[in-house]
Structure 1
Amino acid sequence: MGLFQFTTLCLCLLLVFGSCFASDQHVGQIYPGFQASHSEWADKQGLFLSSNSSVFALGFYTALDVKLFVLVVIHLDSSQVVWTANRGLLVNNSDKFVFDKNGNVFLGSGDGVVWSTNTAGERVAAMEMQDSGNLVLLAEDKRILWQSFSHPTDTLLLGQVFQEGMRLQSFRNPYNVSHFLEFRSGDLVLYAGYQTPQLYWSITNDSRKSNNNVTGSVHSASLESNSWNFYDKNRLLLWQFVFSDNTGPNTLWTAVLGSDGAISFNNLKKGNASTPEATKIPQNSCNVPEPCGPYYVCYFGNWCQCPSLLSSEFDCKPQSVSNCNSSQGSAELLFVGEKLTYFAIGFVQPVLKSNLNACQEACLTSCSCLVLFFQSNSGRCFLFDRIGSLQRSGEQSPGYVSYMKVPIAGDGGHGHARRKEKKSISVVIIVLSTILVIIGLLYVGFWYYRRKRGLLESSQDNLEEDNFLSSLSGTPARFSYIDLSRATKNFTTKIGSGGFGSVYLVPSPPTSSQISSHSSFFKWSSEEGTSTGMIDYSSEVTMSDVRLSGPR
């Protein structure tokens, strides 16, 4: 075999064995000098290191854009990502994960680095994927130089200690806002990541925790069994937050800070069928910053409605304004609504306590103020530089009146002049409509009066005629229409007609005996509403022989 053929064979064998090595997923640990990219591990779904019991794995996870990837720790049975290295800086198919021989572990992108353990110069032995979900970098003396449990992203695992200096950060919501969980002044709080952060939950204010009579500063927290435990700086238990009734051994709980701002609790051992527990933080969906979007009012947990004025003028997307870089007179206040409240009010102090005019003036003169809330019975005034979703106040609460700062006319916004013009048009329409309604009512009243008066005069004439005829001797007997209808059973049987009108049969009684009856032929007068007897006689006849003249 020639030298060229031998070299070619060696290269082929090297490529074959290299492919084989790349396709064999590492178990437990990897060592300095290791490198990996998604393209090399595509046949293993990008995963190159699994824990000893294959509970968790480390590898590349496909992003929304299928050409971009993120380095993650994933729970294999549920496919739930529990840790992310480069969430904000994605890499492509050929970018490398590198375990450098100088002790540093990093993820490169082109000529740059998007994530690193920052352990260059350390005497490292291995990187280990543990069955607990913790990714650790071990020194030669078995010390932990770096671990993913100390750098959580949006998920906490069972047994993971979350302590001061750490924080969880959610993915951004549709309004480009992230939510954060961290320790502040001896308390564990959730807040919206606005330019000025706004708190919306704290463990000290949550009445669902056990040992509510215990006070102290919280310095750490961890998931234990079916509860979230909170400790002071000496690791003494302060409170427990029980989130599930399931205390069995077949559980692997996580706490996840979602993009909606709520913390949910999941049992990963349920696999792909895992669903969050009913208990969450905060419990009421309206108590997160933006369940509906800015300016909408959240009520009944998941119902959303835009205040009427913002809906009619701005389609609930008002143009906000800051007069920090403009004159004070370039903005005005627009009424938003009343009996409202806001999630952040319970976590800040009022700017002042006075009247509504003073609160409005404070907002107009503060370049950072966008929205104000004022409570009339307490005089409390709150100013915010950004607004999330509003809430409807409870039945027993007076709530707040709210105004927002908008541009005036001439500043490219919906100004006072435009609203005044719309208001004037509305007033004109209302006035004209009212006048037309009044004219219509007067016409109907006059018509009714004339009609009633005519009927009364006609009735009086008929009454006088009836009285006159009744006073004459020998005049025919007169019967009402109701009597005739009853006698003929509502004019059931017509037996003929004549010059005086139709003739109807008076049915026979149950017996065939003859009765003495005062019988007559009658003609019905529709104008007078009575029947006039035409013939008056007394005879002994059967009821079947009686003939009555009915209405024409």
Structure 2
Amino acid sequence: MPSSMGSSSLPVSTTIILFALLCGFSCSEYIYPDFTASNIQFVDKSGAFLFSKNGTFKAAIYNPGNRKNYYLCVIHAASNALIWSANRDNPVSNYGKMVLTLSGITISDEYGNPQWSTPPLHSSVSALFLTEMGNLVLLGQNNISLWDSFHYPTDTIVIGQKLPVGALLVSSVSDYDLSTANYSLSVTTSDAVLRWDGSTYWKLSTDLNSFRNSNYAVEYLAMNRTGLFLFARNGSVVVIQVKLSESDFQTAKLDVSGRFMVRSYSGMGSKREFSGPDDKCGIPFICGRVGLCTDSDAASTSGPICSCPAAFHADPQNTNSCIPSDASLSLPVACSSTVVINGSSVNTQNETYLGLPPGSDYFTNVFMDPVRYGINLSSCKDLCSQNLFLPGNLL
């Protein structure tokens, strides 16, 4: 190799040898029925049993942290970014198995009990294929796609993947527990929307980094090397866009905190390109029940500052939640006693009300008008009591 290539460059033959050593001379972007994989079986490759053609992505029975839970995952090899998981709500142990048969993929626990499987297919499976975009594809005769992971996203999409209207990204409980949590991102015919337990707390159209180009009905959300887009008319029209720094690999992920994050990856590590909402205190439940949130530095990668209102203190079991300072009081999930008011059974107990500091706000007020404006404290107490005690109403 000529010296002008630089001392950090490797000859092509050396690169091939290193890749072969990494894969144990067994790498292939295809596997065939009947194939079985477990983490313990491929422990020398950290559970990886299938690699895309150039080794960009790998499929593995993977443990994301120091836990006992293992998942069938697709992982970006260079960054170790997890882009898809199958059995996120039904993890297995390192002895759990992924089995590829003519009927599809099944993940079973160490006792052989099925925990997850692909849906019924129209024809028999010929192979499982991992593409260079990170798509895990079940192929039938003549290489026809029968099922693929891009159509069943978890919390992440990558370049080349579409999130159509009606589809969801759902956050994980934590970086180590991939179970579905309460934050979701959905694509509507006019926007991309973040929700928590059904309440909207962010829209792409209202983000200061987004630009609206047209008013056509949105069909899907997607990324390329330079931007995040909502597309219409079969991808020929951009409805809303966010410009990004050019990068060969990027992920758009709804992270565990409830923020929709776009990150780019390079040899220097990862870089945050975009996040919504930018205000961390715009995320519901970020400071737990009745916690107060202060976002002192929106550009910081650290979390917001959480505090408790007067007469409350941090819960020693969960520092992001607040409990009454008076141990005789509690915050029950539901009121404990039942009385009959105007012929209806309602829950009731002695309630007290606490004024919040000036400038306090509630995340949902951005998208929903308050029931009343300009009322005094006494009227506010009466209104809260009525809402609390009417069956089917929320506080």
Map of 1:454-493 to 2, 5 A cutoff?
none
CA deviations over 1:283-332 (Å, ceiling 9, x no partner): 12221223433323222243333222334999931433434862354142
The alignment partner of 1:341 has SS state of coil
Conserved? CA contact 1:126–1:137, under 8 Å = yes
What letter corresponds to residue 221 of structure 2 in structure 1?
Answer: A
1:112 aligns with 2:102: no
Query: What is the distance in 1 between the residues matched to 2:355 and 2:86?
Result: 43
CA deviations over 1:394-414 (Å, ceiling 9, x no partner): xxxxxxxxxxxxxxxxxxxxx
State the Cα distance separating 1:166 from its structure 2 match: 1.8
CA deviations over 1:230-278 (Å, ceiling 9, x no partner): 1236532111112x3x32xx5211112111111222223336x22323x
Query: What is the distance in 2 between the residues matched to 1:128 and 1:312?
Result: 50
Conserved? CA contact 2:183–2:195, under 8 Å = yes
What letter corresponds to residue 279 of structure 2 in structure 1?
Answer: N
Alignment-derived partner of residue 360 in structure 1? 381
Counterpart pick for 1:267 among 261, 264, 272: 264
The alignment partner of 2:271 has SS state of coil
Alignment size in residue pairs: 340
Alignment-derived partner of residue 304 in structure 1? 306
Show structure 1 runs of 5+ residues with no match: 1-21, 371-382, 386-552
Alignment-derived partner of residue 346 in structure 1? 366
**Greater Rg by CA:** 1
State the Cα distance separating 1:359 from its structure 2 match: 4.1
What letter corresponds to residue 290 of structure 2 in structure 1?
Answer: Y
Q: Give the fraction of aligned pairs with identical amino acids, expressed as a percent.
A: 26
Alignment-derived partner of residue 220 in structure 1? 220
Alignment-derived partner of residue 187 in structure 2? 183
Instruction: Please identify which structure carries the higher helix content.
Output: 1
Show structure 2 runs of 5+ residues with no match: 1-22, 298-303, 325-329, 340-346
Counterpart pick for 1:276 among 272, 284, 295: 272
State the Cα distance separating 1:28 from its structure 2 match: 0.9
State the Cα distance separating 1:30 from its structure 2 match: 0.9
The alignment partner of 2:142 has SS state of coil
Gap change, CA 1:40 and 1:269, over 3 Å in 2: same
Conserved? CA contact 1:323–1:367, under 8 Å = no
What letter corresponds to residue 54 of structure 1 in structure 2?
Answer: G
Query: What is the distance in 1 between the residues matched to 2:166 and 2:224?
Result: 21
Conserved? CA contact 1:86–1:114, under 8 Å = yes
Gap change, CA 1:177 and 1:307, over 3 Å in 2: farther
Query: What is the distance in 2 between the residues matched to 1:83 and 1:36?
Result: 17
Conserved? CA contact 2:336–2:349, under 8 Å = no
State the Cα distance separating 1:61 from its structure 2 match: 1.0
Conserved? CA contact 2:353–2:381, under 8 Å = no
State the Cα distance separating 1:171 from its structure 2 match: 1.6
What letter corresponds to residue 122 of structure 1 in structure 2?
Answer: S
What letter corresponds to residue 308 of structure 2 in structure 1?
Answer: C
Conserved? CA contact 1:324–1:367, under 8 Å = no
State the Cα distance separating 1:57 from its structure 2 match: 0.5
Counterpart pick for 2:287 among 289, 292, 313: 292
RMSD (Å) for aligned C-alpha atoms: 3.1
Query: What is the distance in 2 between the residues matched to 1:202 and 1:27?
Result: 41
Alignment-derived partner of residue 162 in structure 1? 163
Query: What is the distance in 2 between the residues matched to 1:264 and 1:54?
Result: 25
Conserved? CA contact 1:104–1:121, under 8 Å = no
Alignment-derived partner of residue 100 in structure 1? 101
Alignment-derived partner of residue 257 in structure 1? 254
Alignment-derived partner of residue 478 in structure 1? none
Gap change, CA 1:369 and 1:298, over 3 Å in 2: farther
Conserved? CA contact 1:138–1:144, under 8 Å = yes
Alignment-derived partner of residue 354 in structure 2? 335
State the Cα distance separating 1:358 from its structure 2 match: 4.5
Query: What is the distance in 1 between the residues matched to 2:355 and 2:69?
Result: 43
After TM superposition, what 4+ stretches of structure 1 lie above 6 angstroms from structure 2? 312-315
Query: What is the distance in 2 between the residues matched to 1:369 and 1:349?
Result: 20
State the Cα distance separating 1:280 from its structure 2 match: 1.4
